[in-house]
Structure 1
């Protein structure tokens, strides 16, 4: 049974600081990091708090469910924490009315396909949530300048995820941010970067993912399905071309 009609966003990150995020917007979450006890989701860094702040700036009516899987240094000690986090969300999403999951974190990989992750335990969990109209948003990754090729980090590469890259203002207008990883549909792998957007705090593709999570949470208050939310965002998109002439949808 749902505890409230208010929409909730689960933020998988470093936690949330109740002194910087209005405690009235925070619900009890879960701590899977190496800091504090299992019920302590205080952010001793800044990343998760900034993500929550960006979401609330866009959708001030929603609540935040912090799920802490990395410590203040951004280190993931428990490699199973991500899957455990999604198992917990799947179990509690109806009670907490979680409609969006924001995983604004990424590893250092650059994959063009999710084939390698075909048997990863995260995939069926995200798929089940999506079938329950709970959207998962993830950052495409910030390693484009290092990899110098198309691809996305994990978990954004999973096709069940709404993946988000970053754009930047340049003298020539809006362009894909130099650091933002990206994957074009023309690669034919079945995976691609869903949206690009100018990031909120904490910047980069993390802040871009938080911005899209906030937009989706706002849409979830009046519309029913993930496909409807995506359609609404696509209607506001414009097209930019990169240096290779490829067209990308930006919000």
Structure 2
């Protein structure tokens, strides 16, 4: 990794965490190819600045382990099914990025050598140094851990400077802004405040892991065209979760 960030941005290496639902578009399930392509273009615009990019994508648009468990499925099996859903999403985003000329590697925490590389930290770091986008799939490879926790874990292992959490709203609010017009957006909020107030940023394990390693989380709207690139440069509307 170079010693300095590209001149257009504050960061050299970042983690982008998005939900599987972000790939659905207006559909209720699955993948919406134009939406996948739009997100890939957002990633490319940042990659073109010279920023090294890691990604973790959820699987909720295909299968959510916790929901399956709630319906009577054995939790470990349900979580493994959720991990496989994240691999499908990672492959879709890889395909969209490579159509745009961005070299990409899908790196799976569960071995499936025909479709993805196994997770080897040093190899993943080398991919980033070669300006390849690394999409980390299959969570941590363990049941009972979310893709939020996986994103925080991999961000620390890859020495990312921040996690960018792309959502449907432009930051962290004290209540759901989609149903409460009087919801208040935070400019900055601490890890401990997120945990104490049960703010919906990431699950508690992910927040604690970020706090323990002083890794900032920047929450922004993935639906805002050019938002990812703008926020990397310090523009736009977002919330920073910090120590």
TM bin, normalised by shorter chain, reads 0.3 to 0.5
Compute the TM-score of the two structures, normalised by the length of structure 1.
0.35
